[in-house]
Copies of this chain bind each other. A is one copy, B any other.
Amino acid sequence: MPATPSPAVEDIVEALRARGARVTTPRRLLVECLVRAGGHRTAEELAAEVRSAAPDVHLSTIYRNLEELEHLGVVSHAHLGHGPAMYHLATATHAHLVCRGCGAELEAGPELFADLAREAMARFGFQVEPYHFAVVGSCERCRRALGSDPVP
Protein backbone atom coordinates (compact mmCIF):
# COMPACT_ATOMS: atom_id res chain seq x y z
CA MET A 1 0.00 0.00 0.00
CA PRO A 2 2.64 2.63 -0.65
CA ALA A 3 0.66 5.76 -1.48
CA THR A 4 2.48 7.41 -4.38
CA PRO A 5 4.84 5.34 -6.51
CA SER A 6 7.60 7.89 -7.06
CA PRO A 7 8.70 8.22 -10.67
CA ALA A 8 12.32 7.48 -9.72
CA VAL A 9 11.23 4.14 -8.28
CA GLU A 10 9.80 3.09 -11.62
CA ASP A 11 12.96 4.15 -13.43
CA ILE A 12 15.07 1.99 -11.16
CA VAL A 13 12.71 -0.96 -11.32
CA GLU A 14 12.84 -0.63 -15.07
CA ALA A 15 16.63 -0.68 -15.06
CA LEU A 16 16.51 -3.84 -12.95
CA ARG A 17 14.17 -5.54 -15.35
CA ALA A 18 16.24 -4.45 -18.35
CA ARG A 19 19.17 -6.20 -16.75
CA GLY A 20 17.30 -9.44 -16.49
CA ALA A 21 16.88 -9.13 -12.74
CA ARG A 22 13.54 -10.00 -11.18
CA VAL A 23 11.42 -7.45 -9.45
CA THR A 24 10.47 -8.99 -6.15
CA THR A 25 8.59 -7.52 -3.21
CA PRO A 26 11.63 -6.97 -0.98
CA ARG A 27 13.55 -5.47 -3.84
CA ARG A 28 10.82 -3.03 -4.81
CA LEU A 29 10.27 -2.05 -1.18
CA LEU A 30 13.98 -1.42 -0.71
CA VAL A 31 14.12 0.83 -3.75
CA GLU A 32 11.09 2.72 -2.44
CA CYS A 33 12.77 3.21 0.92
CA LEU A 34 15.94 4.49 -0.65
CA VAL A 35 14.04 6.95 -2.82
CA ARG A 36 11.84 8.06 0.06
CA ALA A 37 14.81 8.40 2.42
CA GLY A 38 16.66 10.92 0.32
CA GLY A 39 19.64 10.89 2.68
CA HIS A 40 21.76 7.99 3.88
CA ARG A 41 20.63 4.95 5.85
CA THR A 42 22.32 1.93 7.35
CA ALA A 43 21.39 -1.53 6.09
CA GLU A 44 19.70 -2.14 9.44
CA GLU A 45 17.59 1.02 9.16
CA LEU A 46 16.55 0.10 5.65
CA ALA A 47 15.64 -3.39 6.82
CA ALA A 48 13.45 -1.91 9.56
CA GLU A 49 11.68 0.34 7.07
CA VAL A 50 11.16 -2.47 4.59
CA ARG A 51 9.84 -4.70 7.35
CA SER A 52 7.14 -2.23 8.25
CA ALA A 53 5.56 -3.29 4.95
CA ALA A 54 6.83 -6.88 4.74
CA PRO A 55 7.83 -8.16 8.20
CA ASP A 56 9.74 -11.26 7.08
CA VAL A 57 12.36 -9.57 4.92
CA HIS A 58 15.73 -10.61 6.21
CA LEU A 59 18.80 -8.41 6.68
CA SER A 60 20.80 -10.61 4.33
CA THR A 61 18.27 -9.91 1.61
CA ILE A 62 18.80 -6.20 2.17
CA TYR A 63 22.56 -6.60 1.90
CA ARG A 64 22.27 -8.73 -1.23
CA ASN A 65 19.99 -6.22 -2.88
CA LEU A 66 22.10 -3.26 -1.90
CA GLU A 67 25.04 -5.00 -3.50
CA GLU A 68 23.00 -5.64 -6.64
CA LEU A 69 21.84 -2.04 -6.80
CA GLU A 70 25.38 -0.89 -6.25
CA HIS A 71 26.59 -2.92 -9.21
CA LEU A 72 23.80 -1.39 -11.21
CA GLY A 73 25.16 2.03 -10.24
CA VAL A 74 21.92 3.08 -8.58
CA VAL A 75 23.18 2.99 -5.01
CA SER A 76 26.47 3.70 -3.32
CA HIS A 77 27.71 3.45 0.22
CA ALA A 78 30.04 5.50 2.39
CA HIS A 79 31.85 5.00 5.66
CA LEU A 80 31.30 7.89 7.99
CA GLY A 81 33.07 6.54 11.03
CA HIS A 82 33.65 3.29 12.85
CA GLY A 83 30.02 2.18 12.65
CA PRO A 84 28.07 0.53 9.84
CA ALA A 85 28.18 1.72 6.23
CA MET A 86 25.68 4.29 4.97
CA TYR A 87 23.74 3.58 1.78
CA HIS A 88 22.06 6.10 -0.47
CA LEU A 89 21.00 6.69 -4.06
CA ALA A 90 23.94 7.40 -6.31
CA THR A 91 22.15 10.60 -7.33
CA ALA A 92 22.29 11.81 -3.71
CA THR A 93 26.06 11.47 -3.52
CA HIS A 94 27.91 14.04 -1.46
CA ALA A 95 31.01 14.20 0.72
CA HIS A 96 30.93 14.21 4.51
CA LEU A 97 32.94 15.98 7.16
CA VAL A 98 32.63 14.02 10.38
CA CYS A 99 33.72 15.41 13.74
CA ARG A 100 35.88 13.01 15.69
CA GLY A 101 34.75 14.60 18.95
CA CYS A 102 30.97 14.73 18.78
CA GLY A 103 30.23 12.70 15.65
CA ALA A 104 28.46 15.60 13.97
CA GLU A 105 28.22 15.27 10.20
CA LEU A 106 28.48 18.10 7.75
CA GLU A 107 27.59 17.56 4.14
CA ALA A 108 29.68 19.14 1.46
CA GLY A 109 29.35 19.35 -2.27
CA PRO A 110 32.04 18.35 -4.76
CA GLU A 111 33.42 21.92 -4.95
CA LEU A 112 35.21 21.33 -1.68
CA PHE A 113 37.30 18.70 -3.41
CA ALA A 114 37.89 20.52 -6.67
CA ASP A 115 41.46 21.49 -5.86
CA LEU A 116 42.33 18.12 -4.33
CA ALA A 117 40.91 16.34 -7.36
CA ARG A 118 42.85 18.53 -9.78
CA GLU A 119 46.11 18.05 -7.88
CA ALA A 120 45.67 14.29 -7.56
CA MET A 121 45.03 14.05 -11.28
CA ALA A 122 47.96 16.28 -12.21
CA ARG A 123 50.45 14.64 -9.88
CA PHE A 124 49.37 11.00 -9.87
CA GLY A 125 46.92 10.56 -12.73
CA PHE A 126 44.52 9.59 -9.97
CA GLN A 127 40.81 10.28 -10.32
CA VAL A 128 39.41 11.06 -6.88
CA GLU A 129 35.96 9.91 -5.74
CA PRO A 130 35.78 11.75 -2.46
CA TYR A 131 32.55 10.13 -1.34
CA HIS A 132 33.40 6.67 -0.18
CA PHE A 133 35.04 7.68 3.06
CA ALA A 134 34.27 10.63 5.26
CA VAL A 135 36.82 13.34 5.90
CA VAL A 136 37.55 13.24 9.61
CA GLY A 137 38.40 16.26 11.71
CA SER A 138 37.06 18.38 14.52
CA CYS A 139 34.27 20.92 14.52
CA GLU A 140 34.63 24.36 16.01
CA ARG A 141 32.72 23.57 19.18
CA CYS A 142 34.78 20.46 19.97
CA ARG A 143 38.07 22.20 19.33
CA ARG A 144 37.05 24.94 21.76
CA ALA A 145 35.88 22.44 24.33
CA LEU A 146 39.18 20.59 24.27
CA GLY A 147 41.15 23.78 23.88
CA SER A 148 44.21 21.69 23.19
CA ASP A 149 44.70 22.62 19.55
CA PRO A 150 46.08 26.10 19.09
CA VAL A 151 44.50 26.88 15.74
CA PRO A 152 47.30 27.60 13.25
Contact = CB atoms under 8 A, between A and B. Distances in A.
A139 to B, nearest CB: 6
B120 A112 contact: yes
Contact of A137 (B97, B100, B128, B138): B128
Q: How large is the interface on A (under 10, 10 to 19, 20 to 34, 35 or more residues)?
A: 20 to 34
Interface majority SS (helix, strand, loop, mixed), chain A: mixed
Interface in A120-152: 120, 123-140, 143, 149, 151
A136 B126 contact: no
Contacts of A79: 79, 133
Interface of A: 79, 97, 99-100, 106, 108, 112-116, 119-120, 123-140, 143, 149, 151
